Amino acid sequence: MSTTPQTPLNLDNIQGDIIQGLLKKVERYVFLTIKDVELFRAGLQQLAPAITTATQVKQEREMIKQHKADRKTHLLPITGINIAFSRFGLNKLGLTEDINDAAFTKGQLNDARPTSDLTKPGLGDPFDELSRDPKWIPEFKKQIDLVILISGNCEEGLEERAAEIRQFFGVGTPQQSIEQIYQLQGNVRPEPENGHEHFGFMDGISQPAIENFDIPFPGQKTVPAGVILMGNDLGDISPGKVPTHPDWTKDGSFLVFRKLAQLVPEFNDFLAKNPIVLPGLTPEAGSEFLGARMMGRWKSGAPIDITPLKDDPQLADDAERNNNFNYSDTLNVQDRCPFTAHIRKTNPRDDLGDVAMKPRRIIRQGIPYGPEVTAEEKLSNKTAYDRGLAFVCYQSSIDNGFHFIQESWANNIQFPFGKLVTKPGFDPIIGMKGNDTRDFTGFDPQAQDKSLTETIDFVVPQGGEYFFSPSIKTLKEVLAKSA
């Protein structure tokens, strides 16, 4: 626990999605370019008061808690709006100074292109051999200046807010100041899969707690606010560098967006074909076990570091217990959790220790998109409809956060370092190596260096961009103000 006195967060100045997440059953991401800067600024002045702040989200969460305590079952009509700008958008609005984040300045398209630098393999997205461009949908290869996030508990509520926004920016009139490049709408999956992503695993269980704001659950690590929010105490520094984010970034955060398609029938087919064989385990249970060891949690969300051999849905639902593990008893063995399991690769906890982990923490706020798997897809083991994760995460440094986690951990076959197995392999969920196949070890508790090869990617990046989610003050007093 830090003894340094810290300034409380100015929740009125922070956009609502960053530290707590907009409340949502559905969420639309609208990707736009600015056609006319001055008209856009005028629209932004109207939009700014409608942006959902962290204060509002905090109140809404309390309202929902009360609503549930009163045993009311109808959904409260809550909607939300947030906004974030790419470096193109900031430049158009006159903010051209260096924001001191290489990934943000480069943009995600450049970051996703294959590199010849073996020490910095980048995001590793599959690419077209001729153009060397990542195999993204064309919309994400265009210049995107900003993204507007609209959330709600139903389609109607969300559409009402979208119409309001279109009006601010004169859409469909001669005063139109923006043009839509693309939009993606996500939705929480229907019951009983509510809260689970498309591979079937419960998501959104582990987030860092923010010092001076959250009360951490047992095992939940606390990070200084500056790890997520720029210009805040401690943490808002790159290791070895002085904090050099410009003043106008204070209370803002970088928003990483990735459209990650998930090939669910193919993933399930892979599990079915490679069950873990143990005495007394049926092939179905062996497949479920393999999935749990690739993820580090059972589908219910129960962590395998605590319950390695069988699922425990009660543990999964218990916030006092479901993050209370740190691999400290298994630093060199994988009887419980493989070194390559998705949650161990992306948050290796005591494999690295608190000090090294702090600058690498991110807050994830994504939502699944696309329909449920159809009977026909199940039968053919082939994806016919686009579905996946609208991946969103926040951090005060993309270089230290998302970019580092993807490049240096998920895509790095030697990470975590210093284990008896010197090349644990890729993160079997999100590890990428361009157009090559990927291996991972540790899945078989009885033969921990045995390796499995994924010949196709079950998670396919289809595009994205790096954005900056400004404070309300910067939105009103800098971005919406005429130069």
DSSP letter at 165?
H
Residue 127's beta-bridge partner residues?
134
Q: Measured between alpha carbons, how far is 200 from 264 in angstroms, rounded to an integer?
A: 9
Least Cα distance to 304 among 340, 355, 264, 270 occurs for 340
Q: What residue ranges bind ligand N7H (CB under 6 A)?
A: 197, 199, 201, 203-206, 260, 262, 295, 297, 342-343, 346-347, 362, 364, 388-389, 391, 402, 405-406, 410, 429-430, 459
Q: Give the pairing type, strands 209-210 and 222-223.
A: parallel
CB of 33 to ligand N7H, least distance (A): 25
The CA-atom distances, in angstroms, between 71 and each of 75, 78, 79, 172, 220 are: 12, 18, 22, 44, 29
CB of 296 to ligand N7H, least distance (A): 7
The CA-atom distances, in angstroms, between 302 and each of 182, 348, 357 are: 36, 17, 22
- Residue number, 250 or 336, with CB nearest to ligand N7H: 336
Beta carbons of 346 and 459 less than 8 angstroms apart? no
Amino acid letter, 333: V
CB of 405 to ligand N7H, least distance (A): 4
Q: Which residues contact 211 (CB under 8 A, 6 or more apart)?
A: 2, 6, 222, 223, 224, 225, 233, 234
The residue to which tokens 């700014």 are assigned: 48
CB of 213 to ligand N7H, least distance (A): 18
- Residue number, 44 or 430, with CB nearest to ligand N7H: 430
State the catalytic residue, choosing from 17, 70, 125, 203: 203
The CA-atom distances, in angstroms, between 34 and each of 40, 180, 380, 470 are: 7, 9, 44, 17
Q: Measured between alpha carbons, how far is 71 from 73 in angstroms, rounded to an integer?
A: 6
Element (H, E) at 65: helix 54-69
Q: Measured between alpha carbons, how far is 48 from 200 in angstroms, rounded to an integer?
A: 37
Beta carbons of 181 and 49 less than 8 angstroms apart? no
CB of 404 to ligand N7H, least distance (A): 9
Least Cα distance to 333 among 301, 300, 357, 308 occurs for 308
- Residue number, 204 or 308, with CB nearest to ligand N7H: 204
- Residue number, 114 or 428, with CB nearest to ligand N7H: 428
- Residue number, 251 or 457, with CB nearest to ligand N7H: 457
Produce one character per residue of 178-206: b if its CB has 16 or more CB atoms within 10 Å, e if not. beebbebbbbbbeeeeeebbbbbbbbebb
3-class SS of residue 180: strand
- Residue number, 26 or 405, with CB nearest to ligand N7H: 405
User: Would you state the structure tokens that stand for residue 421, as one six-digit string?
Assistant: 């197995």
Tell me whether residue 70 is one of the annotated catalytic residues. Answer: no
Beta carbons of 89 and 145 less than 8 angstroms apart? yes
Beta carbons of 458 and 263 less than 8 angstroms apart? yes
Query: For 18, phi and psi rounded to 5 degrees?
Result: -65, -60
- Residue number, 82 or 346, with CB nearest to ligand N7H: 346
- Residue number, 92 or 342, with CB nearest to ligand N7H: 342
- Residue number, 161 or 297, with CB nearest to ligand N7H: 297
Beta carbons of 402 and 253 less than 8 angstroms apart? no
- Residue number, 250 or 299, with CB nearest to ligand N7H: 299
Catalytic machinery residues = 203
